[in-house]
Amino acid sequence: MLIKVLGSAAGGGFPQWNCNGPQSRAVRGGDGAYKARTQSSIAVSADGKHWVLFNASPDIGQQIRDNSELHPKADGPLRNTPINAVVVTNGDVDHIAGLLTIRERQAFNLYGSPVVLDVLAANSIFNVLNPDYVKRIEMPLNKEVALDGPDCPLGIRIEMFPVPGKIPLFQEVEGQSLEDMMKLEGATVGLKFWSDGSAAPESAPVYYIPGCAEVDEALALRIKGADMVLFDGTVFTDTEMPDQGLMHKTGARMGHLDMSGPGGSLRAFEPLDVARKIFIHINNSNPVLDENSDERRAVEAAGWEVSYDGMEIEV
């Protein structure tokens, strides 16, 4: 099974289009310690021919252009694609806006939790995904499902499970508490996926959790001893955005766990014996984007990798 990181940044990408923070300035200026990044999405294939997108970022058009595996076959019909399915993990703009780019009467299956599919159904702009071509498939939580394309099985099994997280920003109501925003089970999910042996040798499961507010007991038990986890790396410290003058919101207020705090991901993962740990969905404020920073050295010393656009992972 092959995993390609199409986009490794959080919402807005890196550099963010309107951000004049020091790191965004540095990457624009060609500082070799930084890599430009598009918004969070990965592509997965069991056979190298049929692909599934996990999240459709606003940058999906560029990501398809940058990855030849996702191009139409030169000897195929005038319109064709190796993208057979899309799975979305929440209703954030970062993860669903790209659906509007891949709308041109192209057949693929769209998978999501009941909550996230309700978000799409409530926004009429997503009706551009013609139901004659795009089948919306509700995924039950905590149950294994075989992924299919419009015409064939994809050789990948998946389990969608709830993780702590909040509703999308555009659904927030003024005066609503963060606790209330995080009550809706299935608003944010993680994915466990693996090659089922039908299209390629059966693989060990991989966990993809690009948004998460807390490693609670249920999540810790689920991923303990896992071979690989791609995990929310939005912020290094909870207050880094207000501290840098970029934004008034903390990581926690946005529904993201910091890396370094007492309840942060570095400490939470210490007892979990995860063999390979990879941060994804990294905000432009996060100092781990500087490959020469103390923060980057700290996460690498703790056994973590920092994903980048174009990263390939074979399982």
Q: What pTM was estimated for this model as a whole?
A: 0.96
Residue 184 has pLDDT above 90, yes or no: no
Least confident of 38-47, 102-111, 181-190, 254-263: 181-190
> In which band, very low, low, confident or very high, does the pLDDT at 108 lie, cut at 50, 70 and 90?
very high
> How far is Cα of residue 17 from the mean position of the Cα atoms in its chain?
20
pLDDT tens-digit readout, 24-34: 999 999 999 99
pLDDT (mean) for 6-12:
97
Residue 134 has pLDDT above 80, yes or no: yes
The CATH H-level (homologous superfamily) assignment of domain 2-314 is: Ribonuclease Z/Hydroxyacylglutathione hydrolase-like (3.60.15.10)
Domain chopping of the chain, boundaries: 2-314
pLDDT given at position 170: 80
Least confident of 20-24, 84-88, 173-177, 227-231: 173-177
Residue 156 has pLDDT above 90, yes or no: yes
Residue 9 has pLDDT above 70, yes or no: yes
* Tokens describing residue 262: 């007492």
pLDDT tens-digit readout, 199-238: 888 999 999 999 999 999 999 999 999 999 999 999 999 9
Dihedral, CA of residue 193, residue 103, residue 39 and residue 262, to nearest 10: -50
Beta-carbon contacts of residue 14 (< 8 Å; ≥ 6 apart):
23, 24, 27, 34, 35, 36, 37, 282, 284, 289
pLDDT given at position 111: 98
Beta-carbon contacts of residue 105 (< 8 Å; ≥ 6 apart):
79, 130, 133
pLDDT tens-digit readout, 52-87: 999 999 999 999 999 999 999 999 999 999 999 999
Residue 183 has pLDDT above 70, yes or no: no
pLDDT tens-digit readout, 267-303: 999 999 999 999 999 999 999 999 999 999 999 999 9
C-alpha atoms less than 13 angstroms from C-alpha of 171 in its C-beta half-sphere:
21
pLDDT given at position 38: 98
77-81: which pairs have CB atoms within 8 A and are 24 or more residues apart? 79/104, 79/105, 79/106, 81/106, 81/108
